[in-house]
Amino acid sequence: MADILNGIAGGLNSTFNGLIRILPRRKEEVQEAIVREIQMFVIPRSARLFIRIAGISGAIAVAMGAYGSHVFRQKEIDQRLKETFEIASKYHFIHTLALLAVPFARKPVLTGSLMTAGIVLFCGSCYYHAMTNNMAIRKVTPYGGFLLIFAWVSFAL
């Protein structure tokens, strides 16, 4: 068995040494480097705004999440208000990420506008209700929800 392995190793070694002798010994200098920048995709100017909005919305979502994790940790706060805040935070994060896909929609301005308005109305009213326990603002929550649904449907247009 050892003789077979030694034979294989010797054959590989001689093959490798033979290949090294074939290769040129010095490096040839490149006379001219041709580099062409290729953009993978071009984002229309009208859609770039929604990437910036997603950045701002993401920062607000993180700040609200941090606020909620500290304030709503208290036991004396109503459980329904905690759940409302958690729903607002979850939807805020999900739809902020969805805003990053808006430039790839066929109608980015429509989709982005619906998504942004939906985030503001749905998540904003839920946040406000959870922090103040004021039910008056909850009247706009369903409108925000419908706008979010329409935004998702507009991706299919």
Mean pLDDT of 22-34: 63
Residues 6+ apart with CB under 8 A from 141: 121, 122, 125, 126, 129
The pLDDT score that the predictor gives to residue 30 is 57
- Span 112-144, pLDDT tens digits: 999 999 999 999 999 999 999 999 999 999 999
In terms of pTM, does the model score above 0.75?
Answer: no
Residue 98 has pLDDT above 60, yes or no: yes
Q: Where along the chain do its domains lie?
A: 47-154
The pLDDT score that the predictor gives to residue 76 is 83
pLDDT-derived band at 77 (thresholds 50, 70, 90) equals confident
Q: Within its chain, how far is the Cα of 69 from the centroid?
A: 22
The alpha carbon torsion through 108, 109, 113, 119 (nearest 10 deg) reads 30
The pLDDT score that the predictor gives to residue 97 is 97
- Span 1-21, pLDDT tens digits: 667 667 776 776 777 676 666
Reported as half-sphere exposure (CB side, CA atoms, 13 A), residue 128 has a value of 15
The pLDDT score that the predictor gives to residue 29 is 61
pLDDT-derived band at 32 (thresholds 50, 70, 90) equals low
Mean pLDDT of 30-43: 64
Looking at per-residue pLDDT, the higher value among 29 and 70 belongs to 70
Q: Give the span between the Cα atoms of 139 and 125, in whole angstroms.
A: 8
Mean pLDDT of 69-73: 87
CA distances from 77 to 3, 63, 87, 90, 129 (A): 80, 20, 16, 19, 13
